Structure 1
Amino acid sequence: MTHPPGITTKSWLMVAALGLIWGGTFMVQKLALGYLPPLWVAAGRISFAAVLTVALWQALGGQLFTSDTRDWRGLGLVSLLSVAVPFMLLSWAQQYVTSGFTGVSMAAVALITLPLAHLFIPGERMTLRRAAGFAIGFGGVLVLIGPGAFQGAGNPLETWGRLACLAAASCYAVSSIVMRRLPPIDPVGLSAVTLILGMADVIPMALINHGPPRIPAAEGLLYVMLLGLVPTAGANLLRNLLIRSAGPVFMSLTNYMVPLWSVALGVLFLAEPLRASLLWAALLILIGVGLSQYGALKRLFGRA
């Protein structure tokens, strides 16, 4: 049984936090790939996150479904599409594609989620204003990344890498719809079980493709642990909470903010130049978010 999304100030803060966290993830993952093959990077971050999340879940009582209704098939599908498959696809793809294209592909999650939510989630109807808002937001991402996002890197496997990025975006979109339709469930338990199931999927694939893992240098291990702690364990819990409370369409706004944060962090901490495209992109993304979430913003400021 689904309920209308409850978008609050906390929802907006969680979207901003997820954008910030995931904005730095691809850079860290690229560094980790210098020490471990792609599927072991995915397996390492999932395994470390699973240990942390299960410990927290057990400390809180270890409850999962909070009603008599159970949906193990849906839970397994969520794990496959939100953890195992996209993590493997993105780790592999980042060997062959530019970071710009990866950012654009993640922004596509919002555009894929919109029609799916219209069909399968009550209260998430696609309106002209909402569709226009998402299109303008996506335009802002294209301005931010620039034409370099679609320039080839010269690798013969680049086309397959791009397809893998888009497949990962589709996985995230579908998993958010399935997650929203799950029966009442503890959010920490949801994160823990999806990570456990994801670990069970990815480790065998890593063994088949790469053989037993070697212990990386301390710096490589630190990158994997960082990936597991922040963008996997912490962000996975935030994502689940946001989808269950505010709905998949609202959560998908995060994917417009990921490339924006990525560029902004480069300006702030890596002394990268502040390009005019960043300001124009930020304006377009904010306009798009405002249009697509006009009702939620009106309710929010109406209460202020």
Structure 2
Amino acid sequence: MTDSPNITWRSWLMVATLGLTWGATFLVTEIALRGITPFWLAAGRIGFAAVLMVAIWGALGFRLFAAPPPRDARIALAAIGGFSTAIPFMLLAWGQQYTTGGFAGVSMASVALIVLPLAHFLVPGERMTWRRTFGFVIGFVGVCILIGGQAFESSGQALETAGRLACVSAACCYGISSILMRRLPAVDPIGLSTVLLLIAACITVPLALIIEGWPSLPDTQTLVVIACLGLIPTAAANMLRVLVIRSAGPVFMSITNYQVPLWSVLLGAWLLNEPLPPSLLSAMALILIGVGLSQYGALRRLFGRAG
């Protein structure tokens, strides 16, 4: 796919929805982990999402590529399936045992900074201008301020360095998968979402079995939570992610990673009565300024069309 990114009001609505959805996922995941182990949680939500998407894909005729794809596209598809969901899910599940939650949040925010140089060299129409780079750096600083002291403080764990590397590696996986997804030839978005989840399920289920053994049957509440995680932040959000990357590009998609920690903080305060950090307003301002600078051209075109 070589056409330039097409950023519309629909694109902004989709990334806003993804930011809110994934920001709320942290709260729901905490509930699920009371009744199931981390790797089986990842395998369960991915497996449920894959089964659901296969049913939808089948009803629409199992369409995938518009024309027979070249061999390198099929190889890229397999790589995206691993890098977009399975591998980062497992890296984060393992890494967060030894790092602070703040460091994991900063790692996810760094996806934008990873995608930017990759897209500059590998995706047509995604040039790394000074304004765009400066905007992403400002947004990243805003996320660090929002998370506060937890961003880089030590957890004291013996495997902390390895855990941090796992979290950063997960962020790299997300960045690489976004670039590869954008470079695929013409493809049906529902078919692509389904195939990626199937590949991820084929990776995570056997690894969960090897690492954690056979799981005990979770209670009803945990099963309902896993189903919700599979339906909304995995199946539905994965399809939205595909649509955004394929239409608006991986750089635009990466601004979602600045929203996730912001929504996580706001929802934690609203639903769990967690205290709001005193730096919230300044962090929000920096994130919004960063997003505005990095997407200045898209906003100008959008408001120009609206006017």
Global fold match (TM > 0.5): yes
Mean Cα deviation higher: 7-16 or 203-212: 203-212
Mapped contact 2:27–2:268 kept (Cα < 8 A): no
Q: Deviations over 1:224-262 (max 9, x none)?
A: 222211111111000000000000000000000100111
SS at the partner of 1:102?
A: helix
Match of 1:266, as an amino acid? G
* Counterpart AA for 2:158: P
Query: Which residue of 2 is the match for residue 132 of structure 1?
Result: 134
Matched length: 304
SS at 1:55's partner residue?
Answer: helix
Seen in structure 2, the aligned counterparts of structure 1 residues 103 and 62 have a Cα distance that, compared at 3 Å, is: same
Q: Which residue of 1 aligns with 2:283?
A: 281
Look up the match of 2:164. 162
Is the 1:63–1:189 Cα contact (8 Å) retained in structure 2?
yes
Q: Give 2:233's aligned residue.
A: 231
Higher alpha-carbon deviation: 138-147 or 64-73 = 64-73
The CA deviation at 1:204 is 1.2
Identity %: 61
**Higher mean displacement: 119-128 or 218-227:** 218-227
Partner of 1:7: 7
Equivalent position SS for 1:146? helix
Q: Secondary structure at the match of 2:229?
A: helix
Match of 2:222 in 1: 220
Q: Cα–Cα, structure 1 residues 69 and 87, in superposed 2: closer, same or farther, change >3 Å?
A: same
Q: Is the 8 Å Cα contact of residues 146 and 277 (structure 2) preserved in structure 1?
A: no
Structure 1: which amino acid aligns with 2:175? A
CA contact (8 A) 1:3 1:122 kept: yes
Give the Cα–Cα distance (whole angstroms) in 1 for the partners of residues 2 and 188 of structure 2.
Answer: 15
Residues 30, 94 of structure 1: 8 Å contact kept: no
SS where residue 62 of structure 2 aligns? coil
Measure, in 2, the Cα distance between the counterparts of 1:231 and 1:32.
14
Give a deviation string over 1:3-36, Cα, whole Å, max 9, x none.
1000000000011001001112223223323322
Is structure 2 residue 180 aligned with structure 1 residue 178? Answer: yes
Whole-angstrom distance in 2 between the partners of 1:195 and 1:242: 17
**1-structure distance, mates of 2:87, 2:190:** 21
TM superposition score normalised by structure 2: 0.95
Structure-to-structure mapping, 1:54-69, within 5 angstroms: 54-69=54-69
Structure 1 gaps of 5+ residues are none
Residue equivalent to 1:204: 206
Structure 2: 5+ residue stretches without partners? none
CA distance in 2, matches of 1:32, 1:244: 32
Q: 90-99 vs 57-66, which deviates more? A: 90-99
Deviation at 1:151, TM superposition (A): 1.9
Distance 1:29 1:97 in 2: 17
Q: Name the counterpart of 1:19.
A: 19
Moved segments of 4+, more than 4 Å: none
Shift of 1:158: 2.8
CA distance in 1, matches of 2:119, 2:263: 26
Partner Cα separation in structure 1 for residue 272 and residue 85 of structure 2: 30
Deviation at 1:281, TM superposition (A): 0.8
